[in-house]
Structure formats: C-alpha cells, structure tokens
Chains A and B, each alone.
Chain A
C-alpha cells in the first residue's frame, strides 16, 4: 500500500484522490478482514463521505496538511463520537461515545478519514490479541500467528493494506510489539505528551497514544496530528556520521531468539559501517523492571475494573478477568515500593541517555508466536509468552521515555523482526530525527509491510 508521504505527493499532483485510496483500503478490508479479524467495526459509508469531503476541500485550495484525506484505522479503545467504544469486551455493551477523544478530534481537524475501529486484546490487557470478545485478530504474515497486542488489529489493518496508518495505545509495549511482529513502525511518544482523554484506561500512569505506520516519516506525520499540529513538516534526519547510540546488552539481549539476535546484530553492523558510534551501557536495576511494572499495572487496572469485576464478571474473557482479579491482591506497601523502583529506573535510563542520542535494542525477543501458545522456545529455553512479549518494551512505559519500533528484517520463515530506539523524555522529535536517519540502515534489503497477503 502507498505510504502517507507518497499519497500526499500524488494527491497534490492530482494523480490520485482520497476517494480512490479510501476505496482501495475498503476493498482490502472486504478481502482480508474475514481472514484476519482486524476490525471490530468498519465505517465504510462514513469513510467514503469523509474522503469525498477531503477531495472537495483540497480541490478548493483548503489543504489541511499531510493527513488530509488519509484513510486510517483506530484501536477500539479510543472514543469516536456516535460509535461504541467496545475495548473488545462485552463489559461495554451498549456504550456509545458522546464525543471524540482529544486525539480523534485532532485527527478530524487534520482531515483524516476513519475507515473503522480495530480489534485488540480485551481492555488492552494482554500482548497477543487472543482474548477479545470478537475473537482473535490474526497476523497477515501468517494467520496462525498472533499480530501482537494489545493493538493487534490495528497493526494487521496497516500491514494488510486496509489503512495507511492506525492509532494504537501502549502501556507495556502495545504499539511496539504489534509493530515488530507485523513489520511496521510503531511510535510510543513520551509519557504525558499525547492526550489520553477519551481513551479507555489500562493504567492511567503508563498509558500512551501513538501511531503505527509503514515508515518513520508516516509515523511522524500522524504523531504530530495527534498533538494537534496538523501542518507539521518532516524534521531533518540527524546526520548519521557521529550519531551516538548505546546498547543496554545485559538483560535486554540475554533472552533472544537466534534469528532475532542475528537481525539485530546485522542492523548494528550496518549502522556502525555508516559512521554511527555504538557503545554498550547497563541499566543497573533491569532485573526489577518486570516486578515494578507488574505491581503498578495490576493496581491501576484493578482500581478501574473493581466495580465491573463484582457486578458482571462473566462478561470478561476468562483470562483477562482472572488477571484483573490478581491486581486486587497487591498490597499498598508493595505498590509504593514499585513507585520507588520506577523513579530509580527513570534516573538510570536518563543517565544512560546523557552521553547518547538514543538507546538501541531489539523490540521483541521472538517473532510472532502461534495463537494459543502459552510458552515459546527461545534458543534452548522455554519461556512464558507473556513475559517474553513484554520483556524489552515495558521499561519505557514505566519510565516514560519515547521509543520507536522499526522493522529490522525477517526470519528465514519470513516473519518480521523489530528494533527499537529510545530517546530522552519529552524529546520525541529528537528521537524521530534519529529514527529518520537510521531507518534506511535498519530496514535495508527487506520489503516494506503494507500489502501483506494481497
């Protein structure tokens, strides 16, 4: 599928229209959604109407910027006025959003076309998209495998060409994990940078809203539109020569599938050959990341769900219900310890970045796991899928640093692998400049996602 950048060029050269590209996406939805279950709701009529309106505005000289007329999908965790926000749960039966989430209002202002709302792991509380009231979403590269989660339907929708970009949320890795296994770019911005108003929460202290797209440039356009900056121009890439990256090798490279490790090492070598200086650093308390994350996310989620867990427990999928119940047993003293650990980890990531432009590490230790697998083989070890999926991403939700996942090649079976770059807090634009510079070396030689299965 065409990128947002290319679409914009062709649109303004009168070589295509929003109506035409929106129709292409909707045809892909018809062809692929029965197989992938990426969408919970398709808004074809509204999308065609919005596309025609965008074409009329552009013809009249009213150009809203890079997202004008761009067909996008939205994770069904964000409110779009007049539509249900299901969170992929029966708990929310009967809900209809009275108004747009703040980010959706910004996208509407930017002229985006909404093709539909995408499937997710129920209440965003999982990394595989298997537990959804609407059934699992599937990976376009191999429908027997997970598209990642929780924004799995979102990722599948872009990888299969059903939208040019999508909006996801990330509390432990839910943008970057699906991006990695579906061969996409996924941006988790800095904590607090993008509004979470009108988003069903998982953890209000760690939730982030961000884009999944085919390229870093596209992710940049969508990120700025989410901020309300619809006319943003692409920042200049940082010069590659002299760029300083750091690999936090201990813990983050300890548990890796051999092919994921090989693709990561190859990307690092290409970056080095391009003049990038790559150091190694340590996050001293990395072994505490999972326990800090768990105590915070469980407590936050349990507080939000307590009344519905009591009133309508049967409406949750069994796995999500039981994990939410676990959060009701966390003691206040341990939650406070986790908050202390969060501050320590934040300072350690800050310190690691003090002498570097970005951290670089794999996004996910494994390729897409088979749907239904509870454990996965990583090298010679058998690991729980959930622990492995969150291992490399959750730290930056805890600390709030911006992180971007970039496709970094494929396994011999053709499954995508990902690499992530992590920048300084509240400096997402600086991270995007690093990502724009590194992207050609990271993705080198592998086809872009966006038309998988077609």
Chain B
C-alpha cells in the first residue's frame, strides 16, 4: 500500500468513526512512516 493510499484510507476511516482530531496525527505518522520506508537499512527482494 502506498503511503498516499494509506493516509487517504486512514483519514476516511477516522472521519467515519467520528474522530476528526485524529487526522493531523495521521499526517504526522505518515511523515514518520515515509522516513522509515526511505531508510537505507530496509531489505529489498531485488537486492
């Protein structure tokens, strides 16, 4: 799942659950996840 797709789905879910205050926190989490995915310690199947 791409981060963009994840964030869109998570924000929609938060809205559906009546938790709009969660959306800015999900954006913070998305930034942290982007950093984590970009780290050079991640394994890749093609290497």
User: Hey, which bits of chain A sit against chain B, CB under 8 A?
Assistant: 285, 287-288, 290-292, 294-295, 298, 318, 322-323, 325-326, 329-331, 334, 337-338, 340-341, 344
Q: Count A-B pairs with CB separation below 8 Å.
A: 58
Q: Give the distance to chain A from B15, nearest Cβ to Cβ, in Å.
A: 13
Chain A interface, DSSP helix/strand/loop, else mixed: helix
Q: Give the distance to chain A from B4, nearest Cβ to Cβ, in Å.
A: 13
Name the residue on B nearest A387 (C-beta): B28
Known: A340-B41, A341-B36. 10 other contacts (CB 8 A): A291-B36, A292-B36, A325-B14, A325-B19, A329-B10, A329-B13, A334-B33, A334-B37, A337-B36, A341-B41
Contacting residues, chain A, for B26 (C-beta < 8 A)? 326, 329
Given contacts A331-B1, A337-B42, A340-B42, contact A298 B37 (CB under 8 A): no
The answer for the CA separation of A326 and B28 in the assembled complex, in Å, is 10
Name the residue on A nearest B13 (C-beta): A329
Q: Give the distance to chain A from B16, nearest Cβ to Cβ, in Å.
A: 13
The answer for the CA separation of A287 and B25 in the assembled complex, in Å, is 20
Q: Is the CB of B39 within 8 A of A341?
A: yes
Given contacts A340-B42, A341-B39, contact A331 B32 (CB under 8 A): no
Q: Is the CB of B35 within 8 A of A340?
A: no
Query: How big is chain B's contact interface, by range?
Result: 20 to 34
Contacting residues, chain A, for B37 (C-beta < 8 A)? 334, 337
Given contacts A322-B19, A322-B21, contact A288 B29 (CB under 8 A): no
The answer for the CA separation of A290 and B1 in the assembled complex, in Å, is 22
Name the residue on B nearest A287 (C-beta): B35
Among B3-45, those with CB < 8 Å from A are: 6, 10, 13-14, 19, 21-22, 25-26, 29, 32-33, 35-37, 39, 41-43
Looking at A291, A330, A331, A344, the one whose CB has the most chain B CB atoms below 10 A away is A291
Q: Is the CB of A323 within 8 A of B41?
A: no
The answer for the CA separation of A291 and B6 in the assembled complex, in Å, is 17
Given contacts A287-B35, A288-B36, A341-B41, contact A331 B29 (CB under 8 A): no
Name the residue on A nearest B17 (C-beta): A325
Contacting residues, chain A, for B1 (C-beta < 8 A)? 331
The answer for the CA separation of A341 and B21 in the assembled complex, in Å, is 29
Cross-chain contact of B32 among A285, A290, A318, A344 (Cβ < 8 A) = A290
The answer for the CA separation of A323 and B14 in the assembled complex, in Å, is 12
The answer for the CA separation of A67 and B44 in the assembled complex, in Å, is 53
Q: Give the distance to chain B from A295, nearest Cβ to Cβ, in Å.
A: 6
Please name the 7 residue pairs, one residue from A and one from B, whose CB atoms are nearest each other, closest first: A291-B32, A291-B36, A291-B35, A344-B41, A329-B10, A326-B25, A294-B32
Contacting residues, chain A, for B14 (C-beta < 8 A)? 325
Q: Is the CB of A326 within 8 A of B32?
A: no
The answer for the CA separation of A329 and B11 in the assembled complex, in Å, is 10
Given contacts A325-B22, A331-B6, contact A288 B35 (CB under 8 A): yes
Q: Is the CB of A285 within 8 A of B25?
A: no
Name the residue on A nearest B34 (C-beta): A291
Offer 19 A-B interface pairs, CB within 8 angstroms, sorted by A. Answer: A285-B39, A287-B35, A288-B39, A291-B32, A291-B33, A291-B36, A294-B29, A295-B32, A295-B36, A298-B29, A322-B22, A323-B25, A325-B19, A326-B25, A329-B6, A331-B33, A337-B36, A340-B41, A340-B42
The answer for the CA separation of A318 and B22 in the assembled complex, in Å, is 11
Q: Give the distance to chain B from A187, nearest Cβ to Cβ, in Å.
A: 29
Contacting residues, chain A, for B21 (C-beta < 8 A)? 318, 322
Name the residue on A nearest B41 (C-beta): A344
Given contacts A331-B1, A331-B6, contact A326 B29 (CB under 8 A): yes
Contacting residues, chain B, for A337 (C-beta < 8 A)? 36-37, 39, 42
Looking at B1, B13, B35, the one whose CB has the most chain A CB atoms below 10 A away is B35
Name the residue on A nearest B32 (C-beta): A291
